Amino acid sequence: MSRRWQLFWLTEAAMFFVLCFQIVTNPPVLVGVIFGVVALVIGTKVHRLQTFWLTVGGISVVVSVFVNPMVWIMLFLAACASLKLFTGQNSSLGPWARKHFMAVTTRQPQSKAGTMHSHPWFGDTNIGQTQFEWDDINMTVAAGDTIIDLGNTLLPKGENVVVIRKGFGKTRILVPVGVGVAIDHSAMIGTLSVNGEEVPMKNETRKYFSEDYDDASRHIHILTNVLVGDVEVLAV
């Protein structure tokens, strides 16, 4: 079993235990589940009103469980894993096989009036094939690996912002040497790596400032929110 599938089953198991804990500690939900189970047992034991008891019990259990957001997260993760399994590793439909690469360069400021930009949740994204004026990056990725290369860019003085919201996958951001880096990273499960130093992340938020942040004239503020995945920030 590959490491990615091991991570999948570990994540599903952890979410299941969290779900059970939330059900037990929520009295209305716990009562609904117990009532539903009792109704299902009665429906299997008696012949009179059997359909009624089975219907009421099933609805009670389903409603009590599915009001918890953790169930929907588990189902979404399972759906992504199923898509990966049935499309194959090399299929163009596999979200984990798709990588977003952004090589950013700059040019003279252009008019922004009437313009619109977009990024897909699934699929390849290439920014930097043609020169363009630097603008803050704000993107959402459901599943996949993302690479943002700022190594060949002269960032404007002051604060520059990169915002990434991601469900599953790895993120790598290359930052020019001499740029002050501030990181706000939140993750359910994963790691945060800054210039080779890795910190495990488990249901937490971490803030980081580079040593030259106060003295640098150019800053990059990186805000990342990841459900499951690793984030790496590297000076180049």
**What residue ranges do the domains of the chain occupy?**
3-87, 98-109+118-235
Tell me how far apart the alpha carbons of residues 116 and 106 are, in angstroms, rounded to a whole number. Answer: 18
Write down the pLDDT at residue 233: 93
Q: Are strands 197-209 and 180-194 parallel, antiparallel or unpaired?
A: antiparallel
Which positions ≥6 away from 122 have C-beta within 8 Å?
95, 98, 142, 143, 144
Residues 6+ apart with CB under 8 A from 117: none
5-9, 100-104, 142-146, 205-209: which has the highest mean pLDDT? 205-209
- pLDDT given for residue 76 in this prediction: 84
pLDDT per residue as tens digits for the range 40-65: 888 888 877 788 888 888 898 888 88
Angle between helix 27-45 and helix 3-24 axes, rounded to 10 deg: 90
Q: Report the C-alpha gap between 28 and 30 in whole angstroms.
A: 5
Q: Which two tokens stand for residue 27?
A: 């009295």
Radius of gyration for the chain, computed over Cα atoms and rounded to the nearest angstrom: 23
Per the CB < 8 A criterion, the answer to whether 105 and 149 are in contact is no
Distance CA 9, CA 220 (A): 36
Distance CA 104, CA 175 (A): 11
Strands 145-149 and 171-175: parallel
- How many angstroms separate the CA atoms of 130 and 169, rounded? 26
Which amino acid, one-letter code, is at 31? Answer: V
For residue 146, how many C-alpha atoms fall within 13 Å in the half-sphere facing its CB?
Answer: 31
Which of these ranges, 111-120, 173-182, 196-205, 209-218, has the smallest mean pLDDT?
111-120
The per-residue pLDDT for 90 is: 46
Q: Which of 118, 112, 79 is nearest to 100 (CA)?
A: 118
pTM (whole model) above 0.85: no
pLDDT bracket for residue 14 (50, 70, 90): confident
What is the pLDDT at residue 148? 86
CA distance 89 to 198: 27
Instruction: Tell me how far apart the alpha carbons of residues 130 and 1 are, in angstroms, rounded to a whole number.
Output: 41
Which run of H or of E encompasses 82?
helix 69-87
